[in-house]
Structures are given as structure tokens and as C-alpha cells.
Amino acid sequence: MSPLEFESKKQSVAGFAAWSNVPTMMTLYDYLPSQNAYKVRLLLNHLGLPYRTELISIFEGAGQTPEFLAVNPSGAVPALRLADGRVLAESNAILTYLAYGTRYLPSDAFGLAKVQQWMSFEQDYVLAIASLRHWTMTGKLARRPAALVQMRRAGGMKALEILDRELSSRPFICGQDYTIADMSLFAYVHRADEADLPLQEFSHVCAWIARVRSQPGFLDQQFPYAVDPHSSGELP
């Protein structure tokens, strides 16, 4: 998708969300290059659930408008408006809500807690990969202090090392079953090479990536930051 196509899609999809009056459909507030938003798209695709999309041009400040801050006080994407008007923000919270009662979220207390354990790990450790990837792909790496970049590289490597060790003994991160914890981790981990991290050196992680890709309903869809001509700027 070219930047021009991105602008056209941004306008047409947002316009559809504004005029569509289907009362039983969820609305996903999205920014296409966001891997956090991709997590939600991935699960929605696995579940075959219909939804509308409203694109939020975060680098143009659309996330900071009063209208969107009423949806998500942090101004970040993704967010999900349910058919009854209630709103959820934060990708992992949205995954948990959508997966409730499905095969992708265990129903027993321990299984639920293990999923939350690894989704917390994603927020605490995989964040380093996400930051490095964003800075690298949008030309911001040189603007960041060298010590901060090095800290993120070390954090990204640590995350990959931990995952590689854990995935050496089981097919998915919580055990035998594919869950939203895998989806949460997959979003940024499988793009670690775009952060200039040596993903191919972690054979168990790479084998896990292949298993995730083979799941029914897998969404093979990526949008580079290059589709958004505004992404080289800093977030407002």
C-alpha cells in the first residue's frame, strides 16, 4: 500500500464508520502499522467476527482530539467500541474480552492466570522490541540517546532469549494450546528482525512463529510505517 492509498483508505474507512448505522457491529479504532492493533485484527479474524474500522491518524494528532480521548483517555490505539456503546482500550484487555468463552482463553483459574502471566511479559519485555522496531522503521533511531537504544537492544535480546528457552519444551507459550498469549507475543516478536535483532538465531521462537502462522484463520497482513507519510514525526 502506497502513502496515497493509505490516505484514501483512511478517509474511506473512517467515512464508512461514520455513516454506517449497523447497530450490532463492533467498531475497531485502528492505525494500520500498529502491531498492537494487529493483535486485535488477528483474533477477530480467527473468530470470524464482523466489525467496522475507524482509522485514527495518530501522528497527525487524531488520537488527542476530545472525541477520541473520550474513547481512550491515553489517546492510543487500538480501542474497541462494542455494539451496545461500551468501550475497551489496551490491546491485551481487548483480546481477553473477545476471547472469553472461546478456545483461545482457558476457562480454569490457573490457565487464565498463565495467559495473563505471558501477556504481562509481553508488556514488560517485548516493549523493547516494539520501541526499537518503531524507531528503526521511522528514521527516529538517530534521534534517541545511544544509551537508551542500547538498553532497548539488550531488553529485546533478553525477551527473545527467554522465549526461546521456554518454547524449547512446548509448542505454544502456555502449553499445548494456542491462546491469546501467543497472539499478543507474536505481534511484535515475529517482526524483531525489523528492529535489527537477530531473530533467526532463535530457532525455537522461529518454529513457534511457523506454528502460529499455520493456525486456522491466521491473518497474514502487515502495513509498514511507510504507508503513513506522517509517521516520521513524533507523536503529539
Q: Is residue 30 part of a domain?
A: yes
Q: Is residue 35 part of a domain?
A: yes
The model's confidence at residue 23, banded by pLDDT at 50, 70 and 90, is very low
Task: Check whether residue 92 and residue 9 sit in a common domain.
Answer: yes
Strands 79-81 and 87-89: antiparallel
Task: Check whether residue 53 and residue 137 sit in a common domain.
Answer: no
Distance between CA atoms of 204 and 146, rounded to whole angstroms? 30
Distance between CA atoms of 40 and 98, rounded to whole angstroms? 9
Task: Check whether residue 90 and residue 115 sit in a common domain.
Answer: no
Distance between CA atoms of 217 and 110, rounded to whole angstroms? 27
Q: Coil, helix or strand for 27?
A: strand
Q: Is residue 234 part of a domain?
A: no
> Domain total for the chain?
2
Task: Check whether residue 13 and residue 82 sit in a common domain.
Answer: yes
The strand pairing partners of 89, in sequence order, are 79
Distance between CA atoms of 112 and 157, rounded to whole angstroms? 27
The pTM score is 0.90
CATH (domain of 148): 1.20.1050.10
Task: Check whether residue 151 and residue 196 sit in a common domain.
Answer: yes
Task: Check whether residue 147 and residue 72 sit in a common domain.
Answer: no
CATH (domain of 34): 3.40.30.10
Determine the structural domain holding residue 37 and report its residue range: 3-102+220-227
Q: Is residue 131 part of a domain?
A: yes
Residue 121, pLDDT score? 98
Distance between CA atoms of 119 and 113, rounded to whole angstroms? 10
Task: Check whether residue 152 and residue 208 sit in a common domain.
Answer: yes
Residue 20, pLDDT score? 38
Task: Check whether residue 50 and residue 141 sit in a common domain.
Answer: no
pLDDT by residue (tens digit) across 68-85? 999 999 999 999 999 999
DSSP structure class, residue 107? S
The strand pairing partners of 26, in sequence order, are 51
Task: Check whether residue 91 and residue 163 sit in a common domain.
Answer: no
For residues 22 and 192, the model is more confident at 192
Write phi, then psi, for 49 (nearest 5 degrees): -90, 135
Residue 11, pLDDT score? 40
Mean pLDDT of 40-49: 98
Distance between CA atoms of 54 and 72, rounded to whole angstroms? 14
Q: Is residue 232 part of a domain?
A: no
Q: In the predicted model, what is the mean pLDDT of the chain? A: 91
Task: Check whether residue 115 and residue 207 sit in a common domain.
Answer: yes
Task: Check whether residue 198 and residue 153 sit in a common domain.
Answer: yes
A 10 A CB-CB count for 134 gives: 20
Q: Is residue 235 part of a domain?
A: no
